[in-house]
Amino acid sequence: MLRSKSDLLVTVHVDLSCGHTYHFQAQGFPEQVMQSIGVQIFETFQRTQFPSKLKIGNQQLELVGSPGSGVGRAPSPRSAEMACKAVNARLPTEDEYDYLSNVGDWNGGVTCARGKLWAMANNKVMAPDLRNPSPVRSAAEFPGQDFSYYCVR
């Protein structure tokens, strides 16, 4: 749809042979539109997919994600822990969060983004911004916050 001489609305539909369909959309100047769609497509297909498996030392860790999505949100670490149990998985340990964050979103891990709180088992929280004395804190230190999480097994 052409709105003016420089304003485009572009929608790209991608149908995969496995039956999945993806839709990408952007609006604006032609070079901005196509760059935006390119970034959307790259992030969708190159970012860590759930479920996926990653080798840590001699062990293999499966990143399950949260029920219904990759990284989920929960009102408490206990809620996140229960969601993981529902899919026969668990929340990552501190060492697993650190390792997977260091691996990054493009290499099979998940970056523990700054400014987010990450749910851990036993009502604990990984707070990447608070390194001293430890990034692992009690959930009681963060009343009324939402917590990011993903499940592993």
- Where in the chain are the domains? 2-46, 52-152
127 contacts 135 by C-beta, under 8 angstroms: yes
For residue 124, give both structure tokens.
């604990």
Residue-level pLDDT at 4: 53
Distance CA 74, CA 120 (A): 11
Instruction: Give dist(CA 128, CA 78) in Å, integer.
Output: 19
- Rounded CA separation 108/34 (Å): 26
- Two structure tokens written together for 58: 């001699």
Phi, psi torsion values for 12, nearest 5 degrees: -115, 125
The residue that leads in pLDDT, 153 or 46, is: 153
The pLDDT value recorded for residue 103 is 87
Tokens representing 111 are 């970056």
Considering the domain delimited by 52-152, tell me its CATH architecture: Roll (3.10)
Residues pairing with 54 in the sheet: 61
Q: What is the pLDDT of residue 6?
A: 66
Enter the pTM of the model.
0.75
Q: How many CB atoms lie within 10 A of CB 101?
A: 18
Residue pLDDT, tens place only, 96-139: 998 998 888 878 888 887 789 999 999 999 999 998 899 999 99
Tell me what pLDDT residue 5 has. Answer: 61
Task: Locate 89 and state its tokens.
Answer: 């998985």
Q: Tell me the pLDDT tens digit for each residue of 1-60.
A: 445 566 889 999 999 888 889 999 999 988 899 899 988 888 888 878 888 898 888 989
Give the mean model confidence (pLDDT) for residues 84-88.
Answer: 96
- pLDDT value at residue 12: 93
Give every CB contact of residue 8 below 8 A, 6+ residues apart in sequence: 1, 2, 27, 28, 29, 30, 33
